[in-house]
């Protein structure tokens, strides 16, 4: 057991987590060869630098990556969900989870 915690974030939490690996769930609103543009659960936009062999495509994605100083995310790996999701409820869950360090350990 162990390994670093990877906090779930939205666009507002990027600032707090610069340099750390994070999990971002959101909708892909733009995509090119090198970047994906994700609408996070708080409706803010996040730029993701794609890793080689990235599987990101249209849809709902969870990106695991490190936050760069410029608040973009360097992708490490991603998972595409097959269905849509309720972003407002997810967003409230993220906020709530950050207030429960005993369960999540996200500062």
Partner 1 sequence: MMSGYGGYGGYAGGNAGGGFQGQFGQQQQPHHQQQQPAGGGFGSPSNPFTNTTPTGSPGARKASDPHGGDAHAARGSRADAGKSEQSLRSVTVKQLQSATQPVPDMPFRLDGRDLSQVVLVGRINSASTQSTNFAMTLDDGTGTVECKKFFGDGGDEEEEAARLAQFSEGVYVRVVGQLRAFASRKTLVLFSVRPVHSANEITLHCLEAITMHLALTRGLPMPAQQMQQQMQQPQAGAFGGFGGAQQHMHQQGQQQQQMQFGAGMFTPLQQEIMMLVSQQQHTVEGMALDALAFRLRGRAGADEVRSTVDYLSAEGHLYSTIDDAHFKATSA
Residues that bind partner 1 (CB under 8 A): 1-3, 5-8, 23, 25, 60, 62, 64, 77-79, 81-86, 89-90, 93, 96-97, 100, 102-106
Nearest approach in angstroms of CB 14 to partner 1 is: 16
- For residues 65 and 73, is the Cβ–Cβ distance under 8 A? yes
- For residues 60 and 25, is the Cβ–Cβ distance under 8 A? yes
By C-beta, is 19 or 70 nearer to partner 1? 19
Lookup: tokens for 31: 């995509």
By C-beta, is 52 or 103 nearer to partner 1? 103
**If residue 104 lies in a helix (H) or strand (E), which one and from where to where?**
helix 101-104
By C-beta, is 29 or 96 nearer to partner 1? 96
Nearest approach in angstroms of CB 48 to partner 1 is: 16
DSSP bridge partners of 78: 63
Lookup: tokens for 97: 């989870």
């Amino acid at each position: 057991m162990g390994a670093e915690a990877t906090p779930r974030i939205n666009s507002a939490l990027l600032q707090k987590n610069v340099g750390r690996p994070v999990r971002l769930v959101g909708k892909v609103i733009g995509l090119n060869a090198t970047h994906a543009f994700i609408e996070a659960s708080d409706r803010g936009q996040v730029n993701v630098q794609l890793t080689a062999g990235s599987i990101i495509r249209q849809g709902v994605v969870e990106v695991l990556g490190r936050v760069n100083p410029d608040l973009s995310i360097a992708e490490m790996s991603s998972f595409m969900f097959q269905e849509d999701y309720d972003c407002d409820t997810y967003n409230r869950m993220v906020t709530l989870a950050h207030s429960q360090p005993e369960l999540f350990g996200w500062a």
